[in-house]
Amino acid sequence: MNLRFARRDKRGERSVVREVINSASASILVDNGLGPAARTRERSITALRDVSGNRRTGSRLDCFSADETEAAYVVSLTKYMLRRVVGTGRFVRVVHQVALFILTEPCREKFADDSERVAVERISAENSPLRAMASVYVSVLMSAKPSNHPTVGASFIVENKAIELLNSLLPESWLWRRQAPDYFVDYNIEVVEAGELTGVQFGLQVKGGQSLKIRKGEIRFRMDRKPLLYYRDDARVPVFLGLVDVKQRKAYWLFAQQYLREHAGAARLDSQNTLTVVFNVEDCFSNQPRFTEAVKAAEHYMRDLYPGSPVAAVQQRQQALQKLDPRIAVAVSVQGGREVVEIHPDAPLSLTFASRGAKAREQFFAMINSGDVFLADMDLVGPLDSPLMRELMPEGHYKLRFEPESRLGSAQLRWSASEFLHIDGSWRGGTQVMRFVGSLPNSPLSIEITVTRGVTIDDFSISVSTPLRLNAWDGLPLASLPWFDELRSLAATLANGDEVELAYFVEGVRAGRGQMTATDRESNQYLHRELDWFQRMRFLANHYSLDVRLPKASDITYQTERELDALWALTRGDSFQDAISGATFGCVVESNPSLPAHWRSGKPQPHGTMKIIGTAAFDLFGHNIEIPDVENMMTDVELISFEDTETPSKKRLHFRGGPNAVWFRRRLKAERH
């Protein structure tokens, strides 16, 4: 039955509605929500008749008794007001919720979504006029004829069938614990293996239906947001959703936490009232091994998602793995955010792998023959005898890495009676090749010794490489570079072509010795020159008591080297000369010299030798050094321009070096160092 207002005046409409609301509210107060009082009944009927201009509705009311007429009007007006709040589509459910909210609050039903909850709470508020109207409507419903709906409905039957089917599909030994009350989780289930409790538990929420639609291997099922938010943000035990098709007798599962975090958009779940979750038909309860593995994986997922203290987690993981096979010692650690498990078996383990190509076979033989690290994609083929290995490495595809065990070793280099270096490192090898790698701490020197086996036991060859990477000293104090004097002396020996005695040891036992000479003298001579230049810079840092740091080699230009060489020579009291052919430079003359007028025109260019005496400034890797009384003699230079400065007594002159230009510098009254 619908109620229409004949008048369109909003104020009049609101005043009439207010009168009806007041009447209904008064009746609730008088009769405790069970029906209108006699005195209020007439006011309600009168008010309702005043607003009804619909002839068809009025004619229908003529056949009702007084009580029925009042009830019809109150019901119509209540429906009208409620539909304006919650919409026509949800009217019946919302009113039913209001009834439960007001009359049977302890048995309140679940809401479809947040908007429905807000509407019900708004209507049911203590000070809400709509609560009084809804109460009147409830009283009418309660006095109406008994419902024809069965007490035990179809939903009850479907739910029972769904639970019965799931019980038959899961292992009989698993323990089912009914949740009471069952908010968001119906059952807590514990996995049992070999008759013993495992402690592996998960929550199960059962959803039943008939004739579920499968499209492209998926089943789409819409759920309310509130339980989904609980699964994603609050639940610490893994929760599985069980969707049961009672007609086809099939049941599908979904691990809620992982799905909601990795596949359901956070923005959608946080903003929408409902969300459609997608079940994969391959995730079927009838496949018990698949579901059992999913439960165990879910436990690991939740443990990683909500870990305890790192130390406790590592210890618990190590103890759990150790129990699986006492014959294998287990050590668990975390490196770079990843779990690292080291195993040390008491006896050899048998593992069978199948390679995926020729490259893997080549790497395998390189590991056997030379001790190289093996890294390749392989397939693990079972069965595995050890339960620990079955836990760590189930059958499947792996990126396998084998690193042969290394042994401690050392090498000694001696090139004079008093000069030698001892270098620690490690040996690794195979049946044909042994290789030693070592280095001096905080120094550029490393050494690699390769011993290759020949046809017979006594037939072998040795090759030695001693790369010197000077960038290892970048940023270190120039005056105290580690091992500098020893490495400079060694470089000088190799640059001269002299022999260096080599002895190498394996775990303290000498394995061989011999003499070695440089095969590339030119490279060693260049290296020796670089170290000599470093020595000159070390002299300057010590002489001027500066904390100079060695810059990167890329920051040291040829011009920087020449200028610092000049600083070194002048500091020692030596002269320094440099070719400046084609170079341009300038200087400021303070004595306001009297220059010929035709010089300003630049024709012809003044050409000759220039002599300047003054203070020379140098930059030693960020430290300014000035040397007074330096005589600069520049030959074969020409004046290309001069200009006035801001100071009238000063002029700026610009010169260019000729084909044979030379810059000669010396320090007047210098002391030799």
CA–CA distance, 172 with 189 (Å, rounded to integer): 11
SS3 assignment, position 15: helix
The predicted-structure confidence for 626-650, as pLDDT tens digits, reads as follows 999 999 999 998 888 877 778 777 7
| Spatial distance between the Cα atoms of 144 and 266, rounded to a whole number of angstroms | 46
561 in a domain, yes or no? no
Q: Which positions ≥6 away from 129 have C-beta within 8 Å?
A: 18, 21, 24, 25
CA dist., res. 34 & res. 136, Å (int): 7
Compute how many other C-beta atoms are within 10 angstroms of the C-beta atom of residue 572: 17
Q: How far apart are CA 5 and CA 76, in angstroms?
A: 12
> Exposed e or buried b for every residue in 468-506, given b needs 16+ CB within 10 A?
bebebbeeeebbebbbbebbbebbbbbbeeeebebbbbb
DSSP symbols for 97-119: HHHHHHH-GGGPPPPSSHHHHHH
Residue at which a domain ends, from 110, 143, 176:
143
pLDDT at residue 306, as a whole number: 82
Do residues 395 and 415 make contact, with C-beta atoms less than 8 angstroms apart? no
Asked whether residue 316 is assigned to any structural domain, the reply reads: no
Within-domain flag for 325:
no
Q: Is the pLDDT of residue 465 over 80?
A: yes
pTM, 2 dp = 0.49
> Quick one: 269 and 376 in the same domain?
no
- For the segment 473-477, the average pLDDT, to the nearest whole number, is 93
- Given 366, 381, 401, the domain boundary residue is 401
Domain assignment present for 320:
no
pLDDT at 204 over 90: yes
Q: Which of 143, 172, 199 is the last residue of a domain?
A: 143
Rounded distance, CA 380 to CA 385, Å? 13
CA atoms of 495 and 484, how far apart (whole Å): 16
User: Same structural domain for residues 289 and 166?
Assistant: yes
> Hey, is 32 helix, strand or coil?
coil
My answer on whether 47 and 77 are in the same domain is yes
Q: What is the CATH number of the domain that holds 191?
A: 3.40.1350
- CA-CA distance, 129 to 78, in Å (whole number)? 10
Residues 436 and 364 placed together within one structural domain of the fold: no
Q: Is 565 helix (H, G, I), strand (E, B) or coil?
A: helix
Residue 607 CB-density burial (10 A; 0-12 exposed, 13-18 middle, 19+ buried): exposed
* Most confident segment among 59-73, 489-503, 509-523: 489-503
Least confident segment among 117-121, 162-166, 191-195, 480-484: 117-121
Same domain, 376 and 482: no
Q: Is residue 539 part of a domain?
A: no
> Per-residue confidence at 380, pLDDT binned at 50, 70, 90?
confident
Q: Of 279, 255, 283, 289, whose CA–CA distance to 171 is shortest?
A: 289
Among 304-308, 527-531, 600-604, name the one with the lowest average pLDDT.
Answer: 600-604
- Distance, CA of 49 to CA of 68 (rounded, Å): 13
Residues 415 and 394 in one domain: no
What mean pLDDT do residues 298-325 have?
85
Q: Same structural domain for residues 107 and 163?
A: no
Residue 369: inside a domain, yes or no?
yes
Closest C-alpha among 673, 670, 672, 570 to residue 620: 570
183 and 259 share one domain: yes
Residues 6+ away with beta carbon under 8 Å from 409: 424, 425, 426, 427, 436, 438, 504, 505, 506, 507, 511
- Are 273 and 176 part of one and the same domain? yes
Q: Are strands 239-245 and 196-209 parallel, antiparallel or unpaired?
A: parallel
The pLDDT score that the predictor gives to residue 413 is 94
**Domain of 626?**
572-667
In a domain, 1, yes or no: no
Work out the average pLDDT over 175-185. Answer: 90
Section 570-575 average pLDDT: 92
Residues 410, 422: Cα–Cα separation, whole Å: 7
Task: Kindly state whether residues 99 and 72 are assigned to the same domain.
Answer: yes
What is the tally of structural domains in the chain? 5
Q: What is the mean pLDDT of residues 297-303?
A: 90
Q: Report the C-alpha gap between 434 and 155 in whole angstroms.
A: 76
185 and 137 together in one domain: no
In a domain, 90, yes or no: yes
What is the SS3 assignment for 83? helix
The answer to whether residues 387 and 450 belong to one domain is: no
CA geometry: angle at 165 spanning 163 and 171, to 5°?
100
